[in-house]
Structure 1
Amino acid sequence: MRGNPTSTRPKARQWNNHYGTVDYENKPATTVTWKAIYKRISLMGNPEKGATEVLDQWENEGRKVTKWELCRIVKEMRKFGRHKLALEIYMWMNNKPESYTISSSDAAIQLDLVSKVHGISGAEDYFKSLPNNLVDKRTYGALLNAYVRARTVEKAESLLVEMKNKGYASHALPFNVMMTLYMNLKDQERVESLVSEMTQTNIDLDLYSYNILISSRGSQGSIEKMEEAFEKMKLDGSVNPNWTTYSTMATFYIKNGDFEKAEDCLRKIETLITGRDRIPYHYLLSHYGSIGKKEEVRRIWESYKTIFPYIPNLAYHAAISSFIRMDDIEESEFLYEEWVSIQSSYDPRLGNLLLGWYIRNGFVEKAETFLKEMLKVGKSNSTTWEIVAEGYIKENRVSDALSCFEKALSNEGSGFWRPKPVNIAALYSICERENDEQSKEAVFEVLRKARVLEDDVYMSYLPFYKQSKPENEPQKVNESEGDYEEAAADTLFNELQASI
């Protein structure tokens, strides 16, 4: 992995970006070129050839492509998670220093892509390879962001200290990134500590700072303190609450059972949706489903379909999960069948929603039939098999449950999957009760293959685990509480990432 940027200081304009982290050059009069190249790369018959071959072919045809167009393609690739292709485009630019000037913003984006394609060690190597003129608050910020995304706490904290010493932490962004790390680790005291530090050092809180603070206080169960942070935000003349602010507050009002205040927030969200932003609608569907407002879910869904001619998998997932949450299985099945009839790429997470409802409500045979239909029209993921295993565990069908766990482990993309400790504990308990030593060994084999036997925090959640729990082990949260907090944290983290 290597992409040496040039050491030439760029002559560039700046994008109108909240944090000013992306440089921009003059936009061409037409957007035909970037769209044509993007389409060629996206529709490559042999993805192994990579983006560079498409770009070389484009040049061999006697055509030119500007830096703006290449950066626009990269932006689109990143938007859809095609990080390897985006990185290849930058590598191609790096190899043509006579044609393309690489700025520190470009280097920051490359570092982000390297971290996603080659991991933290690759990102560190890339950072060390940068010439001095490309090492600034942007590239430092990109490395900090990579550490936070990987939850490497010590490295992130050490880098923040280094950034402070170099004068690269005189604005809100690095503090916001660190606050998302602490919030995801449920270390709310550190969030408050960073906010205090910002205040004491005259670093203004921005929109993201306030949204993170509101979420942090809400996750602590203090609605009063959450509202205090919101009032402070409204008094700050430089910041206006956005739809994420109200969505975050709605999350915790719902958790607290204050549906009236939650609905006030949801109505406010609808007034703040701008442009063709789909994401607020997904959260509206989820929130209205959480408070049992079926007619509102239908209204938002119909509005969504009117505004957007193309309905992505994520939107169907939001709608189906809302009806599932309200135990309306008929509407959920109808939407699922509608989605199956039009989808171009089967997403097992949608099928899992119905599968989970069948299992939770004791319809194991129905779940088995539905699973066969899922596999006929699409595919499974590891969670699919664990959901079915939960049904078998409830019926004391140890062998069938173990078979499901084995299939989960062998499923495509299972590398990051871990069985839920509660399911492993329940299965092991049945084995002990029935003196089934062979199946107990099989349970440990599942844990070995899932690579969790050496994870003391994971193993400490299992009653049969002998080692004492680590002193600094995070407190376990119940499933519903975790869902609420993770939903709020994910909203903020995703929005912050989009702004960087």
Structure 2
Amino acid sequence: MAFRSLLSLIKQRNNNALINNGYHNHRSARFVTSGAVSNDYDEETSTTAEVDDDDLRSRILRLRLPKRSATNVLQKWVLQGNSIPVSQLRDISNELRSSQRYKHALEISEWMVSHEEYELSDSDYADRIDLMTKVFGIDAAERYFEALPLAAKTCETYTALLHSYAGARMTEKAEELYERIKDSNLPFDALTYNEMMTLYMSVGQVEKVPSVVEDLKQQKVAPDMFTYNLWISSCAASLNIGEVRRILEEMSDGAGSDESWIRYLNLANIYVTAGHLDSASSNPLVETEKQITQSQWITYDFLIILYGAMGNKDKLDHIWNSLRMTKQKMISRNYICILSAYLILDHTKEAEYTNLRSTLQASASNYTIR
């Protein structure tokens, strides 16, 4: 990701992020099946009684090997006289993605596309782009996106492809798509701009981050906390502490009485001096606040991104390990921050582990798209 590996993560994320708005004019603009997923696989060996007695979800989750076909299971289920609501297909697909079984999740997506009775949402098409990236690679996802009808090229599908480029650090491709996004006149939210900012942070082009923020403001898109995290971190990475202070002043003007924003600003003001950022050997707040609340946790999200931008993996590891020992249940925003920080540092092993934890967490809390 960066994000929608990130955000697709990430946009599984919560978080994910991509909002299920419904698919406009789905009958006329529906995209036909690509034929990318083969049906020519045998089902998992099971006893007849076992298969007949359990539900569709159990049958598909028993397909442990990628060569087994979820399509065959779906077909047999229908031939036995059962119906399959679209909500059930989405739930099963989400669960498969949480366990990184992307090929089976893509087969479910293929089934939804090839059956006209299902109304596909913008998020369904965006998820398909993300899955095709994981199973067949970015080229396949790119071809799929370009072949979509104009009505299916929405904020969500554009952002899904941008996420794929950002995750692979394909800067030139991402920038070309970003220009198309800006020319599209579609109402994008902060997530799309965060994808570009994360990409620039991950490839060390921190000087390009402020221009993305300017684009966001020109489009009158409200920055979210993650936008500010990335923006401040890009300045900290170049030790532009004066600009960090100016950003914090801008945030203060819009913070109002929101407790989490006030705590964020207070902590940021403590850490923006070069001395604190460069020489602080630990973060006692994390060590002592074993009972921290989720509203307080946002301050540590800031530190995680900040230390990632500064290239300080030791402090990043220290904060992350300390937070994992607290009793507070993490949400997808927390995982997005740590995942992005490790990607910025190019520590993909830690990022992959964190990504798995984040998708499992998202699944456990009513799973939201990316």
- Name the TM-score class by shorter chain: 0.5 to 0.7
What is the aligned partner in structure 2 of residue 417 from structure 1? none
Distance 2:105 2:252 in 1: 39
> Is 1:174 the equivalent of 2:174?
no
Deviation string for 1:344-372 (max 9, x for gaps)?
A: xxxxxxxxxxxxxxxxxxxxxxxxxxxxx
| Letter aligned with residue 135 of structure 1 | K
Residue of structure 1 aligned with 2:115, choices 87, 93, 96: 96
What is the aligned partner in structure 2 of residue 66 from structure 1? 85
Residue of structure 2 aligned with 1:257, choices 265, 268, 279: 279
SS of the residue corresponding to residue 81 of structure 1 reads coil
What is the aligned partner in structure 2 of residue 22 from structure 1? 20
Distance 2:254 2:231 in 1: 14
Distance 1:147 1:20 in 2: 17
Distance 1:19 1:221 in 2: 31
> Is 1:85 the equivalent of 2:104?
yes
Distance 1:253 1:36 in 2: 60
Identity of aligned residues (%): 27
What is the aligned partner in structure 2 of residue 205 from structure 1? 223
| Letter aligned with residue 258 of structure 1 | A
Work out whether residues 103 and 135 of structure 2, in 8 Å CA contact, stay in contact via their aligned partners in 1: yes
Deviation string for 1:394-447 (max 9, x for gaps)?
A: xxxxxxxxxxxxxxxxxxxxxxxxxxxxxxxxxxxxxxxxxxxxxxxxxxxxxx
Unaligned runs of 5+ in 1: 1-14, 26-34, 309-317, 319-480
Q: TM-score, normalised by structure 2?
A: 0.61
Q: 1:109 to 1:57 in 2, by over 3 A?
A: same
Work out whether residues 207 and 234 of structure 2, in 8 Å CA contact, stay in contact via their aligned partners in 1: no
Deviation string for 1:230-283 (max 9, x for gaps)?
A: 454354248855999979x989988622247x3336667952438xxxx99xx8
Relative contact order, higher structure (CA 8 A, sep 6+):
2
Distance 1:487 1:235 in 2: 36
The offset of 1:189, in angstroms, is 0.7
What is the aligned partner in structure 1 of residue 153 from structure 2? 135
Residue of structure 2 aligned with 1:188, choices 179, 199, 206: 206
Deviation string for 1:16-66 (max 9, x for gaps)?
A: 9774533579xxxxxxxxx95333323226541221122223223332221
Distance 1:127 1:153 in 2: 18
Work out whether residues 216 and 223 of structure 2, in 8 Å CA contact, stay in contact via their aligned partners in 1: yes
Distance 1:17 1:171 in 2: 13
The offset of 1:307, in angstroms, is 8.0
| Letter aligned with residue 192 of structure 2 | P
Residue of structure 1 aligned with 2:138, choices 120, 124, 135: 120
Distance 1:269 1:232 in 2: 31
| Letter aligned with residue 278 of structure 2 | N
> Is 1:219 the equivalent of 2:240?
no
| Letter aligned with residue 106 of structure 2 | L
Distance 2:290 2:227 in 1: 19
Q: 1:167 to 1:108 in 2, by over 3 A?
A: same
| Letter aligned with residue 179 of structure 2 | V
Distance 1:233 1:269 in 2: 28
| Letter aligned with residue 19 of structure 2 | T
> Is 1:271 the equivalent of 2:279?
no
Distance 1:209 1:179 in 2: 8
SS of the residue corresponding to residue 236 of structure 1 reads helix
Aligned pairs (5 A) from 1:77-476: 77-98=96-117, 100-168=118-186, 170-222=188-240, 225-226=243-244, 228-230=246-248, 232-237=250-255, 240-241=260-261, 256-259=278-281, 262-264=283-285, 271-273=292-294, 301=325
Distance 1:112 1:63 in 2: 29
Q: TM-score, normalised by structure 1?
A: 0.47
Work out whether residues 343 and 351 of structure 2, in 8 Å CA contact, stay in contact via their aligned partners in 1: no
The offset of 1:167, in angstroms, is 0.8
The offset of 1:91, in angstroms, is 0.5
Q: 1:188 to 1:74 in 2, by over 3 A?
A: same
Distance 1:94 1:300 in 2: 40
Distance 2:151 2:76 in 1: 32
SS of the residue corresponding to residue 159 of structure 1 reads helix
RMSD value over aligned CA atoms? 4.9
| Letter aligned with residue 256 of structure 1 | D
Distance 1:253 1:232 in 2: 23
The offset of 1:110, in angstroms, is 0.5
Q: 1:244 to 1:75 in 2, by over 3 A?
A: farther
What is the aligned partner in structure 2 of residue 350 from structure 1? none
Q: 1:152 to 1:290 in 2, by over 3 A?
A: closer
SS of the residue corresponding to residue 137 of structure 2 reads helix
Distance 1:104 1:149 in 2: 21
Distance 1:63 1:143 in 2: 35
Work out whether residues 132 and 141 of structure 2, in 8 Å CA contact, stay in contact via their aligned partners in 1: yes
Unaligned runs of 5+ in 2: 1-12, 24-53, 331-337, 363-367
| Letter aligned with residue 122 of structure 1 | A
The offset of 1:191, in angstroms, is 0.5
Deviation string for 1:299-353 (max 9, x for gaps)?
A: 964x66x989xxxxxxxxx9xxxxxxxxxxxxxxxxxxxxxxxxxxxxxxxxxxx
Distance 1:177 1:109 in 2: 16
| Letter aligned with residue 264 of structure 1 | L
